[in-house]
Chains A and B, each alone.
Chain A
Amino acid sequence: MYPEDYRYTKEHEWVHVEGDTGTIGITDHAQHELGDIVYVDFKYGRETLKPGQRVDQGKTIGSVESVKAVSDIYSPISGDIVDLNHTLADAPEKLNEDPHGDAWLVKIRLSNPGELSNLLSAAEYQTYIGAEK
């Protein structure tokens, strides 16, 4: 369920690093808690998130909405935005269907790979959400 080669945060984001680029998304646990997802918003501060934007680890890069709830997305890593998944605008339900794959949110070029060490492994994340219940 939770890919071994991903790293996870306590706020239920994942990051998958290939080379110097990290792909970010929300976990299956998060989409399950939210329910049917209706909208994704990419924002940094008051600005719309765009390629080239420098983001810091832990800062909000947007939000995910279901009918009854909104959840902020926090970036697990620092770096520059390389790409955003615009297919989610027309098909937000992909986040419910394939949160770890097709429904990635943003790609970031890492500025500080050392940050990865303070994220959770798949095993640690699963223990964490097990304990949360």
Chain B
Amino acid sequence: MSIKKVRSHISPNEALLFERSSPGKKAYQLPELDVPAVDAETALGAGNVRAEIAGFPEVSEVEAIRHFTRLSTWNYAIDHGMYPLGSCTMKYNPRVNELVARTEGLAWAHPYQPESLSQGVMQVMAHLESALLEITGMDAVTLQPAAGAQGELTGILLIRALLEQQGNPRKKILIPDSAHGTNPATAAIAGYVVENIRSDEHGLLDLGALEKSVTEEVAGLMVTNPNTLGVFESRIMEAAEVLHRKGALLYMDGANMNALVGIARPGDFGVDVMHLNLHKTFSTPHGGGGPGGGPVAVKKHLEPFLPVPRLKRAGDHLSFDYDRPLSIGKVKAFYGNFGVLVRALAYILAHGGNGLRAATMDAVLNANYIRKKLEPFFDLPYALPNMHEVVFSDERQARLGVRTGDIAKRLIDYGFHPYTVSFPLIVHGAMMIEPTETEGKLELDLFIDAMISIAKEIETEPETVKSAPHLTRTSRVDEVKAARKPVLKWTPGSR
């Protein structure tokens, strides 16, 4: 018996839209035209009108909904269970945020509608700005950058603008070897040369190396705090002083803010400019890879250079100020990912000051609980206290021929998304785990049990782990083939 009908979740014979398409099938109906039709060739010019959209699918509404619904069941998601991905902060995406983002007056607001008819949307932005300033301890914030990487670029461009105004933009940006890949990529796009700073034997910023490296050619240091090992940079204030003495600035990558909200503020420990990831700390949904939001908060001396326009208030009335001669310009059209800003504000309103602090406490408790329980089974490369995430190394398991990537794939069979594999680069065979505060004890215990079980499997039946996953819809996917002979779109006759 060969089963031809597709079933949800397991079946491998799901056809793509183009493969279930057939001429004349429709999922739409437009209203009757209430104005005269216009001949396209006459209006647009004969050479400008296309004959057809070749290959474009034609499916019915029922087929469309079934297709996308079945596809959705092949995804893992936070709604299913924990994502222990380090530095991603995969916390619960509150559903009320989805509802409020669709409020008609907010969802249909046009960025060029008159300011007198935009007080509601502007008020949302102003409210979020002031909350973020309180959380970060900084003096001014822009909500324009579309995501973390864009926030980083904005931050570095702000540094460049300030130094240029002082007469010399300088040439180098210092970046720790434990940094996320967006950091050096960003510095390069901003026109700086990247110089790596090694971490010390504890995985922290090496102050000695920093002092030697900070010359008058250095524009700034990009630091993540807590760092990508989940450890707080205890000498961050000294590092800030070293930089400031030489006229350089301190940029903080805010990816790990989930460890600090309500506990410590970057503005209080010497940071000049930082970005936040709304899709991490502030719960906006990842949606399979975006959208995000990357607000940038600065100290007073960088405020004049912020992207244009800036929100300004006169009594009850809000407006946009375009008269900003020192601004670096725009990093994105319009004002920012407003829909994402709404969700972040809803998150902040739901928690309030007390709730935000409680969330941070739980995030750090969860990570420490995991560390304590897994310590007997996996190597800890650094002995310092960790905050909201913990990094293990696969050293012990590697001696038996099993690597972090294999363990991650086997974790999938236990019903979890893998942790962050092989990052940070300073740890050999890294396993970076961040549970976030929205995981309960039950889920954490299930995760811990799974990891311990895998550690035991590695000793008794390593092949099972090395060839995982076994219980997913697709088995291990051939990434080599995909890279050697890239097929990046469907073509007729390709099945």
Contacts and interface: CB of A to CB of B under 8 A. Distances in A.
Interface residues of B, number: 5
Contacts of A65: 483
Contacts of A99: none
A101 to B, nearest CB: 20
14 contacts: A36-B480, A38-B480, A38-B483, A38-B484, A39-B483, A39-B484, A65-B483, A66-B480, A67-B479, A67-B480, A67-B483, A68-B422, A92-B484, A93-B484
Interface in B357-396: none
Interface string A14-39: 00000000000000000000001011
Nearest to B482: A67
Interface in A34-69: 36, 38-39, 65-68
Contacts of B422: 68
Contacts of B483: 38-39, 65, 67
Interface of A: 36, 38-39, 65-68, 92-93
A80 to B, nearest CB: 30
Contacts of A66: 480
Interface string B460-479: 00000000000000000001
A68 B422 CA distance: 10
A47 B483 CA distance: 23
Nearest to B486: A38
A39 B483 CA distance: 8
Interface in B439-495: 479-480, 483-484
Contacts of A36: 480
B196 to A, nearest CB: 15
What is the interface of chain B mostly: helix, strand, loop, or mixed?
A: helix
B225 to A, nearest CB: 27
A50 B349 CA distance: 61
A111 to B, nearest CB: 29
B156 to A, nearest CB: 23
What is the interface of chain A mostly: helix, strand, loop, or mixed?
A: loop
A65 B479 CA distance: 13
Given A38-B480, A66-B480, A68-B422, 8 more contacts: A38-B483, A38-B484, A39-B483, A39-B484, A65-B483, A67-B483, A92-B484, A93-B484
Contacts of A67: 479-480, 483
Q: Which of A38, A39, A65 is the most central at the interface, judged by chain B CB atoms within 10 Å of its CB? A: A38
Nearest to B422: A68
Nearest to A96: B480
Contacts of A92: 484
A26 B489 CA distance: 33
A21 to B, nearest CB: 30
A73 to B, nearest CB: 18
Q: Which of A36, A39, A92 is the most central at the interface, judged by chain B CB atoms within 10 Å of its CB? A: A36
A91 to B, nearest CB: 9
A67 B483 CA distance: 7
A66 B479 CA distance: 10
Contacts of A68: 422
B481 to A, nearest CB: 9
A103 to B, nearest CB: 14
Which A-B residue pairs are the 6 nearest by beta carbons? Answer: A38-B483, A36-B480, A67-B479, A38-B484, A67-B483, A67-B480
A71 B126 CA distance: 47
Nearest to A67: B479
Interface string B115-138: 000000000000000000000000
A113 to B, nearest CB: 34
Nearest to A36: B480
B429 to A, nearest CB: 13
Contacts of B484: 38-39, 92-93
Contacts of A38: 480, 483-484
Contacts of A39: 483-484
Nearest to B484: A38
A8 B435 CA distance: 46
Contacts of B480: 36, 38, 66-67
Contacts of A93: 484
B427 to A, nearest CB: 16
Nearest to B483: A38
A92 B485 CA distance: 10
A67 B480 CA distance: 6
B406 to A, nearest CB: 13
A38 B484 CA distance: 5
B44 to A, nearest CB: 41
A62 to B, nearest CB: 17
A52 B480 CA distance: 33
A97 to B, nearest CB: 13
A9 to B, nearest CB: 22
B29 to A, nearest CB: 46
Nearest to A65: B483
A30 B298 CA distance: 45
A38 to B, nearest CB: 4
B460 to A, nearest CB: 27
A133 B479 CA distance: 27
A129 to B, nearest CB: 17
Contacts of B479: 67
A31 to B, nearest CB: 13
B431 to A, nearest CB: 16
A33 to B, nearest CB: 13
B302 to A, nearest CB: 33
Interface in B54-113: none
B100 to A, nearest CB: 40
A11 to B, nearest CB: 17
Interface in B382-432: 422
A65 to B, nearest CB: 8
